[in-house]
Amino acid sequence: MRRIAFLYPGQGAQKTGMAQDFYEKSEAARSIFERADQVLDFSVCDMIFHGDDRLDQTEYTQAALLTACMAITAELTARGIRPDFAAGLSLGEYGALTAAGVLSFEEAVRLVRKRGIYMEQAVPAGEGAMSAVLGLDAGSVERVLAELPGVEIANDNCPGQLVIAGEAARVAEAGERLKEAGAKRVVSLNVSGPFHSAMLAPAGVRLAEELANTEIRKPRIPYASNVTGSLVTEAEPIRRLLADQVSSRVRWQDNVKALREAGATHFIEIGPGRTLAGFLRKIDRSLHCCNIEKWEDLEQLESFL
């Protein structure tokens, strides 16, 4: 039996013009953009459609990317395509929460606006860093990092690709040691902070205060938690998981395995880029995935599903 999982990308996938064709051709998608502009303190439409350097600034990126992804989702829903499961990478988890009915779109976009600000402010620019580590397993990376306090695994994306984060000097030193330990490459990431590391804990504390005043509903469908790697079906743990998420490892491999074991058969990556589809192939080449980024991508859905 076909069972669909909606997947949402994380920060870094954003691009000028994302979902603009959906805004122009879909009433349901246009409504999402308009609702975002009503509740935020800046215009998502202006930022995305006209080119704006702020699009790559964390405090603006998160609300803009979530809006684009949920605009595309709105058109899929209007066509009768609904998920049985949902998951998202880091910021993308808020897309999954919205798809699962845990948050309304307005609640989600307000939260990620605050989340982006808190993450931006948690660590002064230049003090933290992130690097992708290619070609080493988590155990090997952890053995190297055990000798380097201040650096930790931030993302476990797929076999052979992890991300480390922490104090900038320590991350640079860790990169050299990981190459000595057998990593094929260590690539510095162009990010504004050491996301998903202990240095972001203050942002989690501030986010918890926002979550305390946000209605959290029981998921209509199971969604995957980055923090635990497992599926969530009840409302009770969600506030704590979201507060912890900003400073905890993203267990994306475990998320995908949990979805597969629960019966997901068809995965739809919603939003700009094909990063998650690439991870999916490396985790399990038998899984079916398509990407919906542009309006013409909708044509593949009939044959895919």
* Catalytic residue ranges: 90, 196
**CA atoms of 272 and 15, how far apart (whole Å):** 7
Token code pair at residue 207: 């986010």
Contact between 111 and 238 under an 8 Å Cβ cutoff? The reply is: no
Contact between 24 and 66 under an 8 Å Cβ cutoff? The reply is: no
On the CB side of 288, how many CA atoms lie within 13 Å of its CA? 13
Contact between 249 and 205 under an 8 Å Cβ cutoff? The reply is: no
> In the β-sheet with 161-167, what is the strand arrangement from edge to edge?
151-158, 161-167, 128-134, 185-188
Contact between 155 and 255 under an 8 Å Cβ cutoff? The reply is: no
Token code pair at residue 132: 């992708």
Residues in contact with 166: Cβ distance below 8 Å, sequence separation at least 6, in sequence order: 128, 129, 150, 151, 152, 174, 194, 197, 198, 199
On the CB side of 43, how many CA atoms lie within 13 Å of its CA? 7
**CA atoms of 38 and 62, how far apart (whole Å):** 16
- The residue among 215, 212, 214, 243 whose CA lies nearest residue 227 is 243
- Backbone φ/ψ region at 101: left (φ over 0), alpha (ψ -120 to 50), beta: left
* DSSP element (H, E) containing 244: helix 238-245
